[in-house]
A and B are shown apart, each in its own frame.
Chain A
């Protein structure tokens, strides 16, 4: 287990800067997820840590040792690729033992280590097969086996589940989490899937355009996103973001929306009267009421998605669109009038100009 420290790292391709002064610290044994949309630089950062790209500025430390100028093989890391990157001409056993063979390990020792790792990943029956004779999930397990067999200080995962179907993805995700619990090896995992990030990460780093937007524990990011981007990126279905204006009346703070309706927010928010803000309402923090109720926002249902375990309802009103998610099953149809009542304690406020989270008053 080794700590990974990325210090003020930058990367340029020609005149284009893709990574800007990024600093990340991953504690020994920690599972850190780098998440962001396409082009956010998450894979580039992983490749910089692996030594597959050369940093333009900054430094990378692994296990307390600066490795910025070292080639990948001297960094004591192992990497799992999105495309599995299994050598097609080698059997599963040869793929898993390739790094050990290159390191000059005796054949018997390689065989023992490969067999032990194969047992751990339930690959023992497949050792003599070529990668083309394996399913996607099996290939990904071999890819992980190839990393595990070397017993490195750090595992690097580059979107390892992207090529798997939804069911298999959930299964392999569980296997990765289970492996990390057992091996406790420092892991850095790149994904654009926030469900994966929330499920696996002990620490999540949200990236955008080569910059770190927020670093934190999964629930910190969910409960207190630092800005509009993080709020929009974390959470499924996505948070509802509505433009509004703050009205302070007798100590009660309300955000007036474009349709004239108002939503009461936590009094502790440090906002001024008439300040324009972005209001964040998570779909799961909206409660549905009947049209006859007087509370909440009056809207019309436009679409209902029922996944069995969840119900996602899209609603609309002139200039206002909201998505709500419920666990309980309801009889709702498009065109039906409803009222959505937000949980006032879970309303997020962002400054409209800076898009940064509005903090609570320091005295609050």
Chain B
């Protein structure tokens, strides 16, 4: 279909508008982070007046952003891996098996999405504080306290369940006749076929864990275990800290999310559109 000149112009204007809306704030943050002088609150900088890496250097060496970045990365990567694995296994059971109480299990998983984080904050805090029988230790102030609560995520389970439902039954039957065990069917047949969905679930999961603020706040109180969002908050309220340094840490904090998205972009996109058209 050919476009008229006015249609082309309208399209360009629309794209430019969307670009400004979505990328404008990020551009402003970048410009501020690389700007030598402190930018007054409320002022938007579009280009650094004097380019510098000083704020990044300070954020990295003095504010020890690398410690928090490491914590966030460790929690987000291990958390995402475990969350995707657990979600995939739960989804496999929900999508491919028939068992008594299946509806109740689905509802129980769904119900976890209905409660706001704040509602479960205190019970979760108490649970993390509680001593584990036999071992006589609590999870509080450990990486486990940051990872284990995010391993089960209903959104990821339901996303993967829908994809796994679409895998033809004949493939599972063929694998069973070929001699595959339940685990082998899951590993060799189902998982490779829902790879796009796994990518999508992993991206959403990573971002969800990366952005966690309340959980790290209640799960740890040792500063060396803080994750980036908690540190950003503490920097924000620190009146001595220059806003450029705070913004430099913000930039550092966004890099892993962007990298993860770029790495899984293809699977993410096909995961979002898979099943939209008849194959």
Q: Which residues of A contact B (CB under 8 A)?
A: 47, 50-52, 71-73, 77-79, 81-83, 85-89, 98-99, 102-103, 146, 150
Q: Assess whether B173 is in contact with A81, with CB atoms less than 8 Å apart.
A: yes
Q: Assess whether A85 is in contact with B168, with CB atoms less than 8 Å apart.
A: yes
9 further contact pairs, Cβ within 8 A, besides A87-B171, A98-B188: A71-B176, A73-B178, A77-B177, A81-B170, A81-B174, A85-B168, A87-B192, A99-B177, A102-B178
Q: Assess whether A102 is in contact with B179, with CB atoms less than 8 Å apart.
A: yes
Complex Cα–Cα for A66 and B140 (A): 56
- Chain B contact residues, majority secondary structure: helix
Residues from chain B with a CB closer than 8 A to the CB of A102 are 178-180, 184
B175, B178, B193: the one contacting A88 at CB < 8 Å is: B193
Q: 13 A-B pairs, CB-CB below 8 angstroms?
A: A47-B173, A50-B177, A52-B177, A73-B176, A83-B168, A85-B171, A85-B173, A87-B175, A87-B189, A88-B193, A98-B178, A99-B177, A102-B178
Complex Cα–Cα for A78 and B176 (A): 10
Residues from chain B with a CB closer than 8 A to the CB of A72 are 176-177, 179
Q: Assess whether A83 is in contact with B170, with CB atoms less than 8 Å apart.
A: yes
B176, B179, B180, B192: the one contacting A89 at CB < 8 Å is: B192
Q: Assess whether B179 is in contact with A99, with CB atoms less than 8 Å apart.
A: yes
- Chain A: minimal CB distance from B124 (Å): 39
- Chain B: minimal CB distance from A348 (Å): 39
Complex Cα–Cα for A309 and B134 (A): 85
Q: How many residues of B contact A (CB 8 A)?
A: 16
- Chain B: minimal CB distance from A78 (Å): 7
- Chain B: minimal CB distance from A259 (Å): 50
A79, A89, A103: the one contacting B174 at CB < 8 Å is: A79
Q: Assess whether A146 is in contact with B178, with CB atoms less than 8 Å apart.
A: yes
The A-contacting residues of B in range 143-179, CB under 8 angstroms, are 168, 170-171, 173-179
- Chain B: minimal CB distance from A240 (Å): 39
Most chain B beta-carbon contacts within 10 A, residue among A73, A85, A86: A85
Q: Assess whether B179 is in contact with A73, with CB atoms less than 8 Å apart.
A: yes
- Chain B: minimal CB distance from A90 (Å): 8
Q: Assess whether B193 is in contact with A78, with CB atoms less than 8 Å apart.
A: no
- Chain B: minimal CB distance from A272 (Å): 52
Q: Assess whether B168 is in contact with A78, with CB atoms less than 8 Å apart.
A: no
Complex Cα–Cα for A146 and B180 (A): 14
Closest to B168 in A: A83
- Chain A: minimal CB distance from B166 (Å): 13
The A-contacting residues of B in range 100-159, CB under 8 angstroms, are none
Most chain A beta-carbon contacts within 10 A, residue among B177, B184, B192, B193: B177
- Chain B: minimal CB distance from A52 (Å): 5
Closest to A147 in B: B177
Residues from chain A with a CB closer than 8 A to the CB of B173 are 47, 50, 52, 79, 81, 85
Complex Cα–Cα for A73 and B176 (A): 7
Complex Cα–Cα for A97 and B29 (A): 55
- Chain B: minimal CB distance from A246 (Å): 51
- Chain B: minimal CB distance from A54 (Å): 12
Q: Assess whether B179 is in contact with A85, with CB atoms less than 8 Å apart.
A: no
Residues from chain B with a CB closer than 8 A to the CB of A81 are 170, 173-174
The A-contacting residues of B in range 166-216, CB under 8 angstroms, are 168, 170-171, 173-180, 184, 188-189, 192-193
- Chain B: minimal CB distance from A93 (Å): 14
- Chain A: minimal CB distance from B163 (Å): 14
- Chain A: minimal CB distance from B198 (Å): 13
Most chain B beta-carbon contacts within 10 A, residue among A50, A86, A87: A87
Complex Cα–Cα for A73 and B168 (A): 20
Q: Assess whether B193 is in contact with A85, with CB atoms less than 8 Å apart.
A: no
Complex Cα–Cα for A310 and B121 (A): 80
Complex Cα–Cα for A265 and B12 (A): 85
Complex Cα–Cα for A52 and B178 (A): 12
Residues from chain B with a CB closer than 8 A to the CB of A85 are 168, 170-171, 173-174
Residues from chain A with a CB closer than 8 A to the CB of B177 are 50, 52, 72-73, 77-79, 99
Closest to A78 in B: B177
Residues from chain B with a CB closer than 8 A to the CB of A77 are 177
